[in-house]
């Protein structure tokens, strides 16, 4: 009797796992349009504005506001990140210094 109950519990667990895996959905919709940001004056001549962007959090997109960052060493320009469409949906490609 105890063995039947254990087998039934394992079978139930496996069935629930399979059903939940089958109902999972992926979103192929990209993020909303970028927000218009008011860019304040830079804190110094070394600082470069890095624009805000959306980040993916589960099924939602959250806005990360832009900010000034000091340019490291010989770099003077920020190449902003962008969303790239793939077969599995949109993927964020990070920005970098040039």
- Residue pair 48/68 in contact (Cβ under 8 Å)? The answer is yes
Q: Are 46 and 65 in contact (CB under 8 A)?
A: no
The full set of domain ranges for the chain reads 44-98
First to last CA, the chain: 70
Q: What is the pLDDT of residue 73?
A: 87
Q: How far apart are CA 92 and CA 32, in angstroms?
A: 13
Q: Contact 26/89 with Cβ under 8 angstroms?
A: yes
Read off the pLDDT of residues 3-27 as tens digits, 9 standing for 90 and up. Answer: 655 545 444 544 454 444 333 334 5
Question: What is the C-alpha separation between 45 and 93, in angstroms, rounded?
Answer: 27
Q: Identify the pLDDT of residue 76.
A: 83
Bridge partner residues of 61 (DSSP): 56
How confident is the model at residue 89, as a pLDDT?
A: 84
> What is the DSSP secondary structure assignment for residue 62, as one 8-state letter?
E
Q: List, for residues 21-75, the tens digit of each pLDDT value.
A: 333 334 557 888 889 999 999 999 999 999 999 988 888 899 999 999 999 988 8
Residue keyed to tokens 């210094």: 97
Residues 6+ apart with CB under 8 A from 32: 54, 61
């Amino acid at each position: 009797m105890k063995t039947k109950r254990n087998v039934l519990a394992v079978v139930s667990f496996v069935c629930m796992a399979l059903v939940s895996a089958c109902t999972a959905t992926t979103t192929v919709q990209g993020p909303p349009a970028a927000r218009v940001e008011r860019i304040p004056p830079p804190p110094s001549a070394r600082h470069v504005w890095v624009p805000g962007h959306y980040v993916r959090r589960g099924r939602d997109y959250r806005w990360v506001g832009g900010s000034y960052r000091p340019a490291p060493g010989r770099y003077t320009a920020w190449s902003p990140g962008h969303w790239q469409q793939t077969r599995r949906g949109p993927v964020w490609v990070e920005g970098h210094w040039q």
